Every structure is written in C-alpha cells, then in structure tokens.
C-alpha cells in the first residue's frame, strides 16, 4: 500500500507544532488529517463538558497516543471543533501539526483550557458537512482524512446519512464515539424512570447513519467519566497507518 499524504502550506514549517487556520489550504505533507468534532449541545451539563475536556487533555498526554503520533513520520494534522445548533460550529484549535510529545501535549492543554463555545440544539448533519469541507479544501490531498464524531445525539431523521455518503465519496472516513447515557428523569407509578439513551437505538443510529469509509468504527461509552479512556482507544486506532476492518467496541467506566 502506498503512503498517504496530505499537504499543509509551507508557512506552517516554523516550529515543532505548526498551526494554520482551519480554512487555509493544506500543502505540507502529513500522514493523517483528523477533525475532532465534539457535540457541546444543551444536553451536556457543565460538569459533563469538563469531563470531556479533561478526557481530551488526558488522551493527548498519554504515552501510547504519543507513540502512535510518532509512528506517523510526516506528522498528524488535527483540529478540535465544537458544535451544537446549525450556526454553532466553531474551530476551537487547529489546524495543528503534531510531530512529537511536546506538540501533542500543547494541543491537549489548549483544548482543555478553551471555554465552551455554545450550548444550543444539535445540528449533527450540518456539522458533519462543515467538518468534511475542512478536509476537502485541497482537492489534491491524499492523506488519510478522518472525522471523529463525539456526541450523545440519538436520531436526526436520517439526515446524517446523506452527508456521510458525500464525505465517504470524497475519500473521508467518519468514526464515532456515541455517549450512551442513562439518567433519572423522575418517577412514574411510584418508581424511578430513566432516560435511556438506549444502547441499541443509539449505537444503531451511529452505525447505520453516521460512520462510514475505509476502516470506520465506533466505540460506545456509557459514562462521561469514561470519555477519556474511550477517546484514547479511538485515537490509537485512528493514528495507525493501515486501518483494519469495520468493527465496534464498547467501553464503560468502572464504578
């Protein structure tokens, strides 16, 4: 299999961690371009948001993740994006080119300290479309291009499938980290009732309507406290140079 390369502009060559605006053309060779597309809609509490941010910091300082980054000899271009409503799509950090431990830690630290950008409804399909546009700005790019969706959204009427199919046709892989949450919502007939962001329903939605492309996969997480470990597992798979077959993993935190 021939090496895949994405090009980032020569202006990015000034330092260990090169940085460009997300709308700039990509012209320096990298092995992987990765958009970390993170749902921050109103269903996520401030406490849960903090756990997600802590998870990003932990993942990008993890020795295994850093080793996997180093295995990409040309570097990894990464952007952290938050979304909620249709007009609430913000590139918080990126593009950054990660080439060593220092650049990986710096990226994770920057994501962790950034303030929340929105908390509206969940416009998943339009946000995937915008993330794909970030990866198709340079039509000549031939690197592995991946969108990494982290969300607790359960259903959008199938709208995500259309933008997923267009992204896959453009050579982009979409992976997912569905956050399948169960939380008490009150009592019914004297018994506690729960909002089941159902394991079957939620996972089926992401498998059938969101993920796609070569080596696409999802990792299910059942607790925001487990987000960091699940993210680490997902990054390790995304950072390898030859993705494997489509598959699914489930990860739940231990109480």
Backbone dihedral region of 85: left (phi > 0), alpha (psi from -120 to 50 degrees) or beta? beta
pLDDT digits over 186-214, tens only?
A: 444 454 334 444 444 678 999 999 999 99
Cis peptide, bond prior to residue 148, ω within 30 of zero = no
Taken in order 220, 202, 217, 248, is the CA torsion positive or negative?
Answer: positive
C-beta of residue 207 within 8 angstroms of C-beta of residue 249: no
C-beta of residue 222 within 8 angstroms of C-beta of residue 180: yes
Q: Where are the domains of the chain?
A: 10-251
Greater model confidence, 29 or 205 = 205
Instruction: Tell me the pTM.
Output: 0.83
pLDDT digits over 81-135, tens only?
A: 999 998 999 999 989 999 999 999 999 999 999 999 999 899 999 999 999 999 9
What local confidence, expressed as pLDDT, does residue 205 receive? 93
Band (pLDDT 50/70/90 cuts) for residue 167 is: very high
Mean pLDDT over each residue of the chain, to the nearest integer: 82
Q: Tell me what the mean pLDDT of segment 18-28 comes to.
A: 57
CATH of domain 10-251: 3.40.50.410
């Amino acid at each position: 299999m021939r090496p895949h390369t994405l090009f980032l502009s020569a202006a990015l060559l000034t330092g260990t961690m090169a940085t460009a605006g997300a709308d700039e053309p990509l012209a320096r060779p990298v092995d992987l371009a990765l958009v970390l597309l993170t749902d921050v809609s109103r269903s996520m509490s401030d406490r849960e948001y903090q756990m997600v941010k802590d998870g990003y910091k932990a993942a990008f300082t993890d020795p295994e993740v850093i080793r996997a980054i180093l295995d990409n000899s040309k570097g990894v271009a990464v952007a952290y994006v938050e979304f909620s409503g249709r007009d609430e799509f913000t590139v918080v950090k990126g593009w950054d080119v990660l080439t060593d431990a220092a650049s990986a830690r710096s990226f994770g630290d920057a994501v962790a300290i950034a303030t929340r950008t929105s908390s509206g409804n969940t416009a998943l399909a339009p946000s995937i479309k915008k993330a794909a546009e970030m990866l198709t700005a340079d039509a000549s790019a031939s690197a592995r291009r991946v969108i990494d969706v982290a969300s607790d959204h359960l259903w959008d009427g199938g709208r995500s499938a259309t933008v997923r199919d267009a992204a896959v046709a453009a050579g982009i892989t979409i992976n997912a980290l569905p956050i399948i949450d169960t939380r008490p919502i009150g009592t019914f007939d004297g018994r506690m009732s729960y909002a089941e962001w159902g394991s079957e329903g939620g996972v089926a939605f992401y498998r059938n309507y969101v993920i796609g492309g070569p080596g696409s996969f999802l990792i299910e997480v059942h607790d925001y406290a487990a987000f960091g470990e699940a993210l680490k597992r997902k990054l390790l798979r995304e950072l390898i140079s030859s993705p494997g077959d489509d598959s699914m993993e489930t990860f739940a935190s231990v109480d």
